Amino acid sequence: MPHDKIESGQSTGRIDLPGWRSRAAKFETEIAKAVVGQERVIRLLTIALFARGHVLLEGDVGVGKTTLLRAAARAVGGAYERIEGTIDLMPGDLIYHTYLAEDGRPRVDEGPVLRAGEDLAIFFFNEINRARPQVHSLLLRLMAERSVTAFNREFRFPHLVVFADRNRVEREETFELPAAARDRFLMEIAITTPADLATRRELAFSTRFHDGDRLIGSIEEGILPYDQLNDVGRAIQEEIKTSDAFERYVLNLWQAVRYPAEAGIQIPGVDTARLVAAGASPRGLSYLVRAARVAAWLDGRTMAVPEDVRSVFFETMAHRIFFEPVYELRRERVARELIDALFETVPVP
């Protein structure tokens, strides 16, 4: 597990989990002030923060992805860096900053990733699919090991969480994320415009949303101190119990999502025997259980139940399931139907 490699930033001792739960609730309400009508996305983001996983946000242009991430970064505190994905961005641009100094000599300083040192809490990669595969592979290491090598030494980022986003509108001049990179994200969250009319009206007419900086500035800083989240995350995983029945249920889900036809899953217009080509990795399952435990904890329970798995399953698993090419084109709909059918089919408990 990645977080086992991290040296704790804080003496563990006894962690006040109920107190942290109320902080988490406060975190959610604060962010909901800046990003309205996205309660589920905010909940998933909170789960990801406590599960110490990286998040890929996906959505149309202008639905509030960046605002959400900036708000989360402010509420978590710590250093926050962002970089825009472009086609000519090279891995060196992430770690080095090269320029001509006042004395006219070229200088190399730390780039966005290194600038804040160990305090880097949130690294936000905007439009990740515009960057080249070389950049993706650097990011891969950053996400998986939370470290990079630069200036001939290793830099470690124990508190780092990577947030990335990509918009679904353009396909030109983009590089699809490799499966390995996608698998390292804990969640892939789709953000859509709120359907609720009152929320839409508020978004369109309230002057509050005109100035993004002021909006973010109104959020209380450091609600979830970034340097304690690793310990809290570990404490949550230890606190929440998973019973035999729960474990069996998750394993059944795993088996069924990999071999849907054998589990008796039927989707109209889809041959489920030839649907899933690969995917649902063990790492994905481990992430799923981690996220489910956090969901249970946020709900104030000490045991994980099937509802917790269901509440995070799509976001943690859908991007890890790879379909046969014929179904890959209508991936979104088929994935949704597969996962709906999965939960309608696999028996509980």
Q: For binding to another protein (CB under 8 A), which residues are involved?
A: 241-246, 302-307, 310, 343-349
Nearest CA to 175 out of 219, 221, 127 is that of: 127
Task: Identify the bridge partners of residue 122 per DSSP, sorted by sequence position.
Answer: 80, 161
Closer CB to another protein, 213 or 344, in the complex: 344
Task: Identify the bridge partners of residue 46 per DSSP, sorted by sequence position.
Answer: none
The Cα–Cα gap between 338 and 349 comes to 20
| DSSP string across 241-297 | B--HHHHHHHHHHHHHHHSTTTTT--BTTB-GGGTEEEE--HHHHHHHHHHHHHHHH
Q: Give me the least distance between CB of 144 and another protein, in Å please.
A: 31
Q: Give me the least distance between CB of 266 and another protein, in Å please.
A: 12
Closer CB to another protein, 220 or 247, in the complex: 247
Neighbours of 333 (CB within 10 A): 12
Closer CB to another protein, 27 or 254, in the complex: 254
Q: Give me the least distance between CB of 264 and another protein, in Å please.
A: 12
Closer CB to another protein, 157 or 314, in the complex: 314
Task: Report the helix count and the strand count for the chain, using DSSP H and E.
Answer: 15, 11
| DSSP string across 130-144 | GS-HHHHHHHHHHHH
Closer CB to another protein, 281 or 345, in the complex: 345
Closer CB to another protein, 198 or 245, in the complex: 245
Nearest CA to 253 out of 321, 161, 180, 325 is that of: 321
Q: Which amino acid, one-letter code, is at 12?
A: T
Q: Give me the least distance between CB of 44 and another protein, in Å please.
A: 16
Q: Give me the least distance between CB of 330 and another protein, in Å please.
A: 23
Q: Give me the least distance between CB of 2 and another protein, in Å please.
A: 27
- DSSP-based three-state secondary structure for 10: coil
